[in-house]
Chain A
Amino acid sequence: MEPDCALPACIVMAVIEYDSQCSQILELIPKYNCLQPPVSKEFKQYYSREFYRAIVGSTIELIAVLDEEGTYTFVGDSVVASLGYTPEELLGVSALSFIHPEDLPSVKNALEELLKFNTASFPLFRFKAKQGDWRWIECTGRNMLHNDHVRGIMVTSRDVTEAIQLAYDKDYHQAYYKSLFFEHPDTVFTLDINGAFQQVNKHIQTLTAYSKSDILGLPYTALLHPDHVKIATDAISKVWTGEAHTVEVRIVTKLGDIKNISVSVMPVYFRGEVQGVQGIAKDITEAVQAQKLIRQQAQQLNSILDSITEPFYALDHEWRFSFASTSFASFIKMDRSQITGRVIWELWPELKSSKFYGVCQQVAEQQTAAYLEEAFTTPYPGYLHISIYPTPDGVAVHFIDVTEQKNIQREIEKLSLVASKTVNGVIIMDAERKIEWVNDGFCRITGYDREEVLGQIPSDLLQGPGTDPKVAQRIVSKYNSRKPFSEEVLNYRKSGEILWFYIDVTPIFDQEGNLKNFIAIQTDVTEKKEAEGKLLKLADDLYKHNLDLQQFTYIISHNLRAPVANALGLIQLVNKLPKESANFDVAKNKLQASIQQLDTVVKDINKILSLRESGRVTQRETVCLARVCQEVLGQFEDEFLKANVAVHVAIAPDHCLLSIKAYLHSILYNLLSNSLKYKAEDRQLEIWVQTERDKRGYVLTVRDSGSGMDMQLVQKQLFQLYKRFHPNTFGKGIGLFMVKTQVQALGGKIDVESTLNQGTTFKIYLGAKHV
């Protein structure tokens, strides 16, 4: 151990003073030569034994003498102050017994060394004080066994416990602060008064990419992002005024990366002055980034929430509005600021009696989402579909206003009730006219089950051989026109029975105008149709009767009235003329002729009426046309022969029908009679009689090569009674009228074609019902 310059001067002085007497002591002096006083012979004088004793006893040094075994032979009085023992307590006791066992070997070694080399310094050791505590002792020894005055080993000891403690503490604190600096997980640095880096810990490289050697001596501003130099210099200036604080700045690393750091800067005081700045820097780039991200996300979330068109709001645990979307605000017609922070149940107390209130409580308690639909009157009337979700802060509520859907739904329910219960048949088809649904009415009317008609096309299913192809075609084209329409159509039940439907079809389009469905409503009009048929027949009869009546009116006003008028006139004339006059007799004869004509007309009318009546009631019999023709021709045999008429007959023997033979006979007779009557004078008369089948029965044709008629002139009146077109030929004008009446009585139809001077063709269509 180096000699301590701080040794108390007084001891040195004392040693110097008794030098002449204690030369051995003086030998110590060179060790303290740093304070070697000038030695003067004049100071050499004798001091008493007590003097030495006092000197030795009052020094803080413990001076003792040991024998060869280490037993105390002398103990200075200072031992009391330092170790608590009295000198008497130690005398005769081995000094080694007070030494700490751990230190004992080294002490023993030193003692042996002392015996060999005369001087030795002991390592520091612990010595048990009177109080029982261990005291650190610094000790030097000198072998003075050969000194007659001493005859022992002189040891000079000093209690250095305090110093040891102090040194330990200093080391400890230093280590502590060192570790705080160097081992700190963040970057720690010090700046000198010029702002240059003085010391940094190892983390500087991680933070800045500068190595320790790079950075020492660099001004801190060298690391700063240009935008942040001001903030940083302001912060450092503040530290110089003694204020520690934390600042966030942006730096640029050696690699050019930009980092955000949080720096706590504090002044370093030394001897009462701020001598530098110490700083702890933390990389908060990620934190800043994260914060930024969180802010962005929050912003984004807000915009998302606001962009949701469904009204949305959040309530905290106290049922206060913590968030309300724009759509909600517009739904309640209030500003968001008016409701934020308000308790929903206070804002609208009526809600407390709603189902919604209960569900909200339940969601908050059970922390599970719930949904409900409820009609509200507050704040606005409407039917809402509400979803309530638990959130960490309370509940989130969003809802859809389903008032309209609800109304539509109710209407649909009613309509579907009507559709399914109505007596009419209802069919819903897809755009391809395939059946998607039919109601009970359809099944009841048609006899089909619902399942067996699904996917079928109603027209294909229901129409049959009796359906008018024109109507069927019209229905198809009306479907294709995609416009609503209605039709009456003959359909068939599953059983094959005839069914008349009045159908009313409506196409259904979606919002884009695409055809989605057809809806057909069928009304069973079979009975009506049958009644209509009867009515039609009745109307036809009535029409015919009416025509008859008109005809009779005409007959009466002309044919019957004419002879009456003549008779009246003639009577007038007869009364007026003298009996002798020539005209008197003429008038009398003509009067008789007129009366006879009157009689004929009355008989004709009677004949026609009875013919009409008998046509209705006479029993039909099977009549073969060839046979009838044969009979009629037989009647004309002589006349035809006389007039040189060529007759060509082409009637198949199997052309037979249920009819009235007398009528057919009369018809043929009249036609042949006319042909003969109106033959062309300049050529031979040829007559063709033939029959052929048509779809309803037979067509009887009588063609001649006679004088013919100008059809333009005659066609309207040809078949009327008493109409005659050949003034030079005898005739009453009743023949063709009779023919037509008889054909009609048989349910047939007569057509005529004629060309003047070429001939005439009569075609008689004998209806199918007589086949």
Chain B
Amino acid sequence: MPSTKIDINLKIWRQENPDAPGSFQQYSLAGLSTDMSFLEMLDVLNEKLTLEGREPVAFDHDCREGICGMCGAVVNGQPHGPEPGTTLCQLHLRHFRDGDHLVIEPFRARAFRIEKDLVVDRSSLDHIIQAGGYVSVNTGGAVEANTIAIPQQIAEQAMDAAACIGCGACVAACPNASAMLFLGAKVSQLALLPQGHPERRLRALSMVGKMDELGFGNCSNERECEAACPKSISIRHIARLNREFIKAALFAE
């Protein structure tokens, strides 16, 4: 489809710092190419604001290839916008119509803090990983890589889970602000692979405990996370997390 030019009306959450009250501000942009990405549209807005002597909109972004997990905002109520399986940086204006009104706000959750405008502190996700999202193996202590055969299908399922980019859209989409999909993806990856087995019980208990402690909610099967996930990670991984957790709770020492 050849590119055309469209006008877009924006309503963006502006907040000076974590403690300041925020509010929506309106902006209009005219003649945007539909080949432009969503973040390039924000670039255009920021160049315009800067030249007008106004403060540009702060937003997180980095790779712009949909893999670093840095970008993300809620667009018209949907984290990462309307396209399924797409990060905000990979969303293009061809999915919008001339004259559309877009409301853009940060990912909101009790365990996330708004730093400024659309920039959010998601370090709570790192804290969940710190609680056990790894195999405890020191550098140098590994056996030869082909020693343990892993069925292709299992490796593929583990990879499906491991594709999580840690953006936090699942949390922002969940009515309970739960991190179960994020957590499930990591627990599931390591439960599927033999390397993760020695620590699987402790891992499930400790990571879930940390998630609760950090103020994330619990899962009530809304499936909003799955719908918002830019990597289309399935809630099957939450089911596997639940099985891991129950087994661990029943049989742990």
A and B physically associate? no
